[in-house]
Amino acid sequence: MIDPGIIKMSAYVAAGIAVGAASLATGIGSGYIAGGAVESMERQPQINERLFRAMLIGQAASQTGAILALVIGLLLLFGGFDNPAGGWYRVAALMGSGISIGLGSIGSGYGAGATGGQTCVAMGRVPDKNATLLGNMLIGQALSQSVTIYALLISLMLLYSTPLQPEGLATGAIVLKSVALLASGICIGFGSIGSGLGIGELAGKSNMAIAKIGKGEMGIMRVMFIGSAVTQSTAIYALIVSFLLMFVL
């Protein structure tokens, strides 16, 4: 049994980390999309309205990661996590869940922004392919956000399905398991940064390629899918290690 205040303290710090870290990269990404839209508007003033709409849709989609982090933050603040029965396990798990979604949103926040920005530039190059490019942009952003979804999964599991600390355990065992719970959040958080960035860049580049080359869209999209699957593999390793840390160790 520990003081419920300690659990609440951990939840508050975790909420701060989650929303703060997630906002960092999402801000950069949204600005990148706006920059791409401005560049295209200068090139093609007659499709200004379409570009403006595409910019808004792209920004909304690129903020998905930050919204998920905001949800975890609100749950940490108001979700009623002050049951002292959880013990130090619960303290570590709350901290880990905030770190996980906070760091996990960084990659997709910037990556989805890069996709949107390059798509806006591509739209300026080929105005008659705008619908295709918009669809591809949403797919690319969704792919780059799938690593954030893994971080969300780990966050929710740390919030709701961590084991309660058994009575009469040695201090060393408690510390070990608590650190494992914290580390599982850190693992998926850092592991998903690179993949999110990489897949976002990949999707943006493939949209640029569609705009520049003008044919073979299906081939480009297929290569993009395979490339993103391989890029995602490091995040999947992190996910597996997170599960091991949470349930096995």
Please identify, using beta-carbon distances, which residue of 138 and 180 lies nearer to other proteins: 138
Give me the residues that bind other proteins (CB under 8 A), please.
57, 60-61, 64, 67-68, 70-71, 74-75, 78-80, 132, 135, 138-139, 142, 145-146, 149-150, 152-153, 218-219, 221-222, 225-226, 229-230, 232-233, 236, 239-240
DSSP 142-180: HHHHHHHHHHHHHHHHHHHSPPPPPTT--HHHHHHHHHH
| Cα(24)–Cα(107) distance, integer angstroms | 10
Rounded to a whole number of angstroms, the minimum distance from the CB of residue 176 to other proteins is 28
Give 79 or 163: the residue with its C-beta nearer to other proteins.
79
Nearer to other proteins, 2 or 221 (CB): 221
Contact 129, 50 (CB under 8 A): no
- Joined together, the tokens standing for residue 233 give 């593999």
- Burial environment of residue 13 by CB neighbours within 10 A (0 to 12, 13 to 18, 19 or more): middle
- Smallest distance, Å, CB 179 to other proteins? 26
* Minimal distance, residue 201 CB to other proteins, in Å: 19
Query: Measured from the CB of residue 171, what is the shortest distance to other proteins in angstroms?
Result: 32
Cα separation, 67 vs 59, whole angstroms? 12
- Between residues 31 and 219, which has the closer beta carbon with respect to other proteins? 219
CA dist., res. 41 & res. 49, Å (int): 9
Rounded to the nearest whole angstrom, what is the least distance from the CB of residue 81 to other proteins in the complex? 9
**Between 57 and 179, whose beta carbon lies closer to other proteins?**
57
- The tokens describing 19, both together, are 């929303």
